[in-house]
A and B are shown apart, each in its own frame.
Chain A
Amino acid sequence: MLKYYSKYAPYLFLLPAGIVLVIFFFIPFFQTIILSFQDYSTDIYTPAFIGIGNYTKLLHNPTFYKVLLNTFIYLIIAVPILAIIPLFLAILVNQKIRGATLYKILIYLPVIVSIVVAAIAFKWLYAEHGILNYLISTLGMQSIGWLTDPKYALYSVIIVTIWKGIGYYMIIYLAALMSVPKELYEACDIDGANFLTKHLTVTIPHIMPTIALVTTISAISAMKVFAEIYVMTKGGPLNSSKTIVYYIYERAFENLDLGFASAMSVVLLIIVMILSFVNIFCFERNRYQL
């Protein structure tokens, strides 16, 4: 093919995106690492280099372990549920049924609406004399402090994250289901296989890569939860619903302890980068045409 562009053209085309990515991604990335080796807690204007001081502070901070544990609980609850229930729903709406589009729209609705409104709506459901406590009282149970009892607050927030994610992952599965060859189902029907065997033997093996993809993306987004916690509990009571991003936010923007917050950001960076790396190089090769 004839070369119709000057040797500067590619760089000029890349320039605007490059400037944005350098200023708002690469510089902050390295600055996070640098800040994590500095102490801002005594004087915010003249930080001192303290080596791994913030990291040792981190390792001696009980709240850090608490937020790590909470984030881990978030992962082990939200991720399996978001990998399985949306798949089940996608199989159901993919059947030849009436109203499939309406079901998809309704189930997708929580994805579209701002997380702030979703969190407010759930806060109202969770209210002390609210509708959920009424429902469990009809089952003969005591009222629960959904957001005010340290035993339950984290789980109440996880429910919101799950509720908001189901439609999103359902649509991802739906796209994958379209690629399963119809003949395989027909063969099953001839053999007289029932609904369950049909999907266990044909659907699941076929869309295994998508299940893996959903697992990693839902894990990455569970690592990053913030808004639902900010709106509903502010991490409380007693840090019971505080996760890693919320704690970074609190230490950085409320306590102005930039070094400590940055050390925690580095921990977050490492975890998310590992997950993303697996995601990109194992499950999304096609999208990036690697």
Chain B
Amino acid sequence: MKKIIEKLSIHSVLIFVSLLSIFPFLWLISTSLKGGGENIFAYPPQIIPTDFTWANYSGVWDRVDFIRYFVNSIIVAGGTVLLNLIFSAMAGYPLARMEFKGKKITFFAILATIMIPFQAIMLPVYLITLKLNMVDGVNNIAGYMGLILPFAVSAFGIFLMRQAFLGIPREIEEAAIVDGCNVVQVFTMVLLPMIKPTIAVLAIFTFIGSWGEFLWPSIVLTKESMYTLPVGINNLQGMFSSNWRYIAAGSIISIIPIIIFFLSLQKYFISGENEGAIKG
């Protein structure tokens, strides 16, 4: 009997918290499906629309170039992930496996960058990006580079890779060397395939971080055609001022891709094995 009461109370707490977690989204969905004949400020509020319509979705879709925002977000997040994987793996390898002059200093210099918050240095980063002509005013490619390159590598990724390389037994490498592999072959054909799980984790979490990034793109972007999804969605507020039906519909459209991504890879996020692998 005591057990049943215990289980019941656990479930009720968790159901309550789960509802709190998703309610803001449910309320947006509800608003987005209400037609002009229904007062969205009605008291008491109605979760189930009485004047049900898809019109807000088609309306906002016609006025806002979501495909464009989505493509921009894919290019930026994809480019950021790709460069992070390559640069982090390359840097992690010598830190884990080679002896060289200045290794300790390099190690601590990289570690030090973890302590520097981007928000405190964003102004000079912006000035440098301007100076390198990596802004959308020059052309779109330059604009993408300006969005990607400041985040092309993170100390966090380098240490994650280093740790993965440290976990590989030395004998495997030695066997490859005896077989005549050179250093590039050892790296690309022997070591990299062995750290695939770590590569997947770094890719997924870098993607999520880049996809949701708002501060940097809102600083550097000047052209609407270059907007990533978060910047574009924030812009909806100005476009439709108090048309909450459209703002709600646009917001819901914008989160569909990332929710699909999350649900299909949920074990990486909630298993707890990759704790802390997201950038803060």
Contact = CB atoms under 8 A, between A and B. Distances in A.
Interface of A: 1-2, 4-7, 9-11, 13-14, 16-18, 20-21, 23-29, 31-32, 35, 89, 92-93, 95, 97, 99, 101-118, 120-122, 124-125, 127, 129-131, 134, 137, 163, 166-168, 171-172, 174-176, 178, 195, 217, 220-221, 223-224, 226-227, 230-231, 245, 248-249, 252-253, 258, 261-262, 265-266, 268-269, 272-273, 276-277, 280, 287-289
**Which of A124, A252, A268 has the most CB atoms of chain B within a 10 A radius of its CB?**
A124
Interface string B235-266: 01100000010011001001100110011001
Nearest to A253: B219
A105 B259 CA distance: 11
A14 B111 CA distance: 14
A249 B120 CA distance: 10
A245 B275 contact: no
Contacts of B11: 97, 99
Q: Is the interface of B mostly helix, strand, loop or mixed?
A: helix
A131 B21 contact: no
**Which of A18, A101, A172, A178 has the most CB atoms of chain B within a 10 A radius of its CB?**
A18
Interface stretch (B50-58, B136-144, B152-160, B194-202): B152-160
21 contacts: A4-B186, A13-B93, A17-B110, A23-B149, A24-B149, A25-B116, A25-B121, A106-B18, A108-B269, A110-B21, A113-B258, A114-B214, A117-B251, A122-B24, A124-B24, A249-B122, A252-B122, A273-B116, A276-B114, A276-B115, A289-B163
Contact of B116 (A17, A29, A106, A223): A29
B25 A113 contact: yes
A66 B214 CA distance: 25
Given A10-B100, A109-B22, 8 more contacts: A17-B87, A106-B22, A114-B214, A120-B234, A121-B27, A175-B272, A220-B117, A287-B276
**Which of A35, A217, A252 has the most CB atoms of chain B within a 10 A radius of its CB?**
A252
A124 B211 contact: no
Contacts, number: 295
B185 to A, nearest CB: 10
Given A113-B258, A121-B25, A124-B248, A134 B44 contact: yes
